[in-house]
Structure 1
Amino acid sequence: MTQPLRLIHLEGNPADAELIDSTLRNAGIPCQTKRVHTREDFLAALRQGGFSLILADTTVPDFDGAAALDLARALHPDVPFLFVSGMQGEEFAVDMMQRGATDYISKQRLGRLVPSVRRTLRELDERLERKRAEDALRMSEKQLRQAQKMEAVGRLAGGLAHDFNNLLTVIMGHSQVLLDELSVGSPIRAKIEEMQKAGERAANLIRQLMAFSRKQPMEPNVLPLNSVIGNVEGMLRRLIGEDIQLVIRPDPHNGHVKADPGQLEQVLMNLVVNARDAMPNGGLLAIETSQVELARTPMHHLHPLPLGHYVKLTVTDTGCGMNTDVLGHLFEPFFTTKEAHKGTGLGLSTVFGIVTTCGGGIDVWSQVGHGTTFDLYFPRATPQATATSTDSPQAQPRQGSEIILLVEDDNGVRDLVRRELLKTGYQVIEAKNGVEACLTATQQNYHVDLLLTDVVMPGMNGRELAEHLAVIKPNLRVLFMSGYLDDISVNSGMDPHRTTFLQKPFTPDLLLRTVRALLDSSASGTGPAHVQTSPPNHTSRTARAS
C-alpha cells in the first residue's frame, strides 16, 4: 500500500483547502494534510517536521506567502514549496520562483496541480537518490583513503618490525649469553634480567603495531581469561600509577577463550591506558570477568554476535566519559580526542580488530562526567586436555658437529648466531647475502647439512636461495629466520620435515633447539644428512664471491 503524502497546507479558505485536497485524492495521490492558517501554526508545523511537501496560498490573515516561503527555506531548504493561489500576476510568480519556490499554480487552473505535484515528487525522489549515491560515494572514498592509510601504516610497520626485531635479537641474545655466564649471586644479574625484560616489552610493542596493521600472525590457544589478566596485573599497576586504584574481580568459574595470549594482553593494556588517560586526577579502574549467555544482542553493541555462551571481560573507569559523537567514532583508526603528542588513535582500533578476529564483540557505555564501561565478549571455548609433564627445567641443547651455512645481511645478528653455533660445536660457513652464499656453495662445493638464512636480503632472498641450493643439495635442511612477520609462510609448499621458520627476535637457546630439532628430523626415510669426511676447519669461514 502506498504511503500517504504528508504535507503542510497554508490556506485561509476551508473550501479552497478541501477542493485542493480532493483534487489530489481523486488523482490517486493519498494525502495526510496538516492545514494551518496562521504564522504561529505554520511555524510550529515546520518545527515538528515529518512532511514532504508544502502548499501555500499567497495571502492569509496577518500573514503572507512570501514570508512563509522565507521561513520554509530557512528551516527546510530541501522540501518542495508550491504556491496555489489566486491570480497575483506573472511578475510576482517569477519573484517567488527566484526566492526558492518550486512552482506557482493558479487556483483558476487547478488542472496543473496534479502534474506539478507528481513532477515535484519525482524530482525529489531523484534528488534524494542522487544524494544517497553521493553519500555512498563519499563513504567509499573515505574507506578507500582509510584503506590506503592502513596499507601505508602496514608497510611502515613491516619495515619497522624487521629492523627492530633484528636489533632485539642482538640485545636479547647477548643478554641471555651474559646471564648464562654469570653466577646466580652476581650483583649485575638483576640488571641484565631487567635489560632482557625491556627487550621482551619492546617485542610486545612490535607485535601490537603488527596487530593493528593486521600483519601479526595469530597463534590462538584455548586458555582461561583470568590467567591472562593475572600475567599482566603487575605491569598494569605500574602503567596506571599511584593515583588510580585498580580493582580486579575475576569470576572463579570464568571460562576459557580461544585467542592469541599476546594479543589479549595488548587488549588489556590498550583499554587500561585509555582509562588512565581519562582519569588525569585519579580514580577507580575495575577489571572483571564473568560468564554470560546472550539471549539477545546487547543494546549498545557495535558488532552483532550470534546468540550463545560467552566469556565477558569488563573494564570500567570513573573518568571523564564520552559523548555520543565520540562514541560513534571510537574504534576508527587514527581517531583520537587526545593532544597530538599523547594519542595515535590506534589503541582502541587495535582492540576492536583483535576482539572481532577472535569472533567476539564489544559493547560500550559512556556518559560525560560519569565514566566508561567496555564489555568485551569472547565465544566460550572448551578447555583442551593437556598431557602431564614434569616441572624439571629443559636440558641444554645437545652439542652438534654438522656444517651450517649461515646467511644473514645484518652484521650484529650474524655475529651472534655464528658464535652461538660455534660454541655448541657446529661448523659454520657464513655469507652476507644470498648471492654470496649461492656462489660459495656451488663453486667451492661445500657439503652443507643445514641452511640457516634470513628471508629478506638484497639480490636473492632466502626462499630463492633455498630453492636454488635444493637442486644440487636435495637433502638440505632449511631454517628460515626473519624479522618480517609476513615471512612466516615463506616455507609454504616446501618439505615440512626439512624446513621450518624462526621468528625474530629469538634467544640463543631457542635458536639452538630449533637447529637441533631440524637436523634430527627425517624426511622421506632418508634420515639426517651426513657430515663430509673432510670438513672445513672448526672456525667460521666468511664466504667471498670469486
Structure 2
Amino acid sequence: MPRDTRPWETPLAGQLDPGAQAPAFDFLPGGGQMGALVRGFDWAATPLGPAAGWPQSLKTVLGVLLAARQPMFLAWGPQQTWLYNDAFALILGRKHPAALGRPSAQVWQEAWGDLAPLFEQVFAGEAVHMDGFTVGLDRDGVVRDASFDFSYTPMRDEAAQVAGLFGVCIETTDRLQAVSALRSGDTRQNVLVALAERFRELDDPSDLSFAAAEILGRALGVSRAGYGTVSKADETISIERDWNAPGIRSLAGVLHFRDYGSYIEDLKAGRTVVVSNADLDPRTAATAGALKAISAHALVNMPVTEQGGLVALLYLNHAQPREWPQEELALIREVAERTRSAVERRRAEEDLRQLAASLEQQVVARTEERDRVWRNSRDLLVVIGADGVFRDVNPAWTAILGYRPEEVIGRSFVAFVWPGDAGLTQTGLDAALSKRNLTGFENRYLHKDGSLRWISWHTATEGELVFAYGRDVTVEKQAQAELAAAHEALRQSQKMEAVGQLTGGIAHDFNNLLAAISGSLELLSRRLAEGRTAGVERFIGTAQGATRRAAALTHRLLAFSRQQTLDPRPVDANRLIAGMEDLVRRSVGPNVELEVVGAGGVWTIKVDPSQLENALLNLCINARDAMAPQGGRLTIETANKWLDERAAKERELPPGQYVSICVTDTGTGMAPEVIARAFDPFFTTKPLGEGTGLGLSMVYGFVRQSGGQVRIYSELGKGTTMCLYLPRHTGEDLPAPEPEAEHHGLGAGETVLVIDDEPAIRMLITSVLQEAGYSTLEAGEGASGLRILQSDTPIDLLITDVGLPGGMNGRQVADQARVARPALKVLFITGFAENAVVGNGHLAHGMEVLTKPFDIEALENKVRDLIDRTN
C-alpha cells in the first residue's frame, strides 16, 4: 500500500489535547494513556459528536474497556467510530494513536474486505467468535499476516437498537508461527504442537495442566504424572491423584523435599522448578519403593496461595538416575510457561464472556426501566423529527391532551399546537435541532375537546431527533393570571389612592393661589370703581406672584407625569453646570462647601436645558436641607459612562453610552424605605408646610421623559448621591453661544393668524399684538384656521394652540399650511399634557414653542424674533 494512502499517517490538526474536554468526561476517570487521549480528543469533529451528548450505554462500555487489561475495542455508530484501550494499542502498532475516532473502514482499510462481513453480522445483532483468524495487516509499513482469537459482541443503546460492536482480541500470531516451525522439527517441537492442539480442546484449567504434564512426560519418556498440593504447614507435596495405567504402580503418597522453602518461593514467583532424586528427603519411606523408579522430577508451576495451591508433578520412569540435557530442561520450562499462559487466556475469555453477559443484562435492565418510565410518566414524552413530525409519544398524551398515541404518531405538531403558537413552536424546534437544549420552553396545545393547555418543554437532541418532555402547567398559568389580575387590581387601588392624594394636594395649593388671585382682583376692582388708584400695584403684584407659583406647580405636575412640554437641545453638561454655579452657591448658603468636578471630554446630551437646570437646583436644595443646620460638603460631578447589559439592566436602561450627573451630600442619608418612595408624588420627609413632595417626582419625570434614569445611592448617617443618567447625543453639534438680542417687541403692520379654542386666550393675544402694531386674524378651531391659511391672504406668522377641537390639532394645521406656504413661521402655545408632541425634538425650522401661562413681554419678544428670523 503506498504510504500516501494510509489514513492513519495523516493526523488531524488539534486532534489530541489532553484535558481540553475534561469536564465532559466526569463519567470516565482513569483508563491509562488511552483514557487521557479519549478525554482530550476533539469528538465534535467526529460522527459521535461532543461527549456531553453521548448515550449512557456508550459511556458504560467505554469505561469498562478502558479499565480492562485485556485488548479491547469499540466500534460505535453508523460510521463504526473506533475507540480502544491501552492493551489494544499494542495490536494497532503504528496505526496508534491516529486510529482513535476514525471509521473502522479507514482503520483497517487493507483488511476491510475480510472484516466487513463480520462487522455487518454483528451490527445485524449476531455475536461472532473466531479462533485463529488470519488477516493481512499493515501495522509497521508492510502488510503482514496476523492471527487472532476474538469475540465480537453487538452492543445496544437505550432504545434496544444495535449501536456498536464490542470486541475482545488476543493476538496468536507468535503462537501459530511457533507451531508452524515446530511441525517441521524434532520431537520437542512436536510436543509443543500437541500441546497447542490440546489447549484448543479443553476448558478446565486443571485439565490443561494435566494435559501438559501428560504430553510432555510421554514425549520425554515420562511414564507417570499426577496432581499434587503444596502445603507449607508440613513442607510436603502430597500426590492426590493415582494413575493406574497398565504396568504402572500407584504413586499415591507424600513427598518431602530438603529445600522446601526455595521451591515455594520459586512457585510464588511463577518460575518452573525441576527437582532430582538428590532433593528428596529419606523420610519418604512410605513410598520408597515407588520413588526408587524416579530419576528426576519436574514441577510445572500453577498459582500458589499462602495456604497451598495446585501444581502439576512430572516424573520419569528410568531405572537409573541421569542428568537432564539443557535442551530438555528448556523444553520443560517452555511447556510450563505455555501451560500458564493458556490457563490465563481461558480464564480471561471466561471473564469476558461473563462481562459481555453482564453488559447485556444492564442494557436489558435499562431498556425495561426506560419502558416503565415511558409508560408510567405523568408528563408528555415525545420523539420528534426535524420535519416536525412526531416519531413516538407516550400514553400521557391521552390523560393530558385527550389523544391516543396512535392518533399523534406520524403527524406534525402543527395539527395539535394552538395556531397562534405555531411560529413560536417552529422557532423552538429549530433551536433544539441546533443543539441548544430548551429549558422551560412554553407553548399552548389544543386539547381534543378544543380547550387550551399550557405545556412547558425540556429537550435533548441526538442527530435529527429531538427528545422532549413536557409538563402541563395550565393550572400554574391560571394561578399566575389570577395573581396578575390581583396585582393589577392592587395597582389600580394604589393608583386611585395616589390620584386622591395628588388631587388633594393640588386642590389645597391651587385654592390658596386662586384665593390670592381672586382676592387681589376683587380689591383692585373696588379701588378702580371708587376712583382710587393709590396702592393698586400691591394687589397687582400679589395676583401676578400667585399666577407664577401656579404655573410652577403645573410644570411640576407635568414633569411628574412625563408629559410636560420639553424643548430638547444639544447641551454640554459641564458648561451648563458652570453657568449655574453662582446660583447654586447662593441657594445652598455659606455653611455648605460646593465642589464641581467636571469630566474632561464629557459627551454631549440632548435635553431641555432649563428643565435640567431646575432639576439640578432642586437636587442641590434637597442636599442642603439634608445637611442642615450644620452644613457639609456638596459635590456636583459629571462623567462619561459605558453601560453594558448587566450595568444597564441594574439601572433599567438600554445598554449604551450615557453621561452621568451626580449630586452628592454629606447629610443624614436615606433609609431603604424612604428611597423606595422618594419619587412618589407628594411624598416628603419634611414637616407639614415645608415641602410639597413634588420636587423629586418632577426630577424623575423630566429625566425619564428625556430617555434617561435617576438612581439614589444612600446610607444613613453618611450621605446621599443622586445620579442622573442621560443618553449621549451623537447628532448635530452644540450651537455656538450667541449674545441675547434686544427685542423692542413692536410690529410694523405684519399679519399674525391666532388659532385657539379658548376665547379669553384669543382676546388676550390679539389685544397684545394689536397694541404692539401687528394686524391680526382669528380662528377658534383647526379647520377654519386652515381655510384662511390655504387662501391668498398674506400671513407673516401663525400662532396656534396645539390642543384644538374638531379632529385637527395645531401641529397638523401647521404641517398642512406649510404645503402651500413652505416658509410659514409658526409659534405653538401649549398648556395641555398632550402637547408634549411639539417639544420632543421634532420641530422643523421656523417653529418655536411657548408654554402657558406666559409673560406678555415673552410673547412680544418671541413673535418679533420669529418674524425677523431669516431661516
Larger RCO (CA within 8 A; separation ≥ 6): 1
The structure with more radius of gyration: 2
**TM-score scaled by length of structure 1:** 0.49
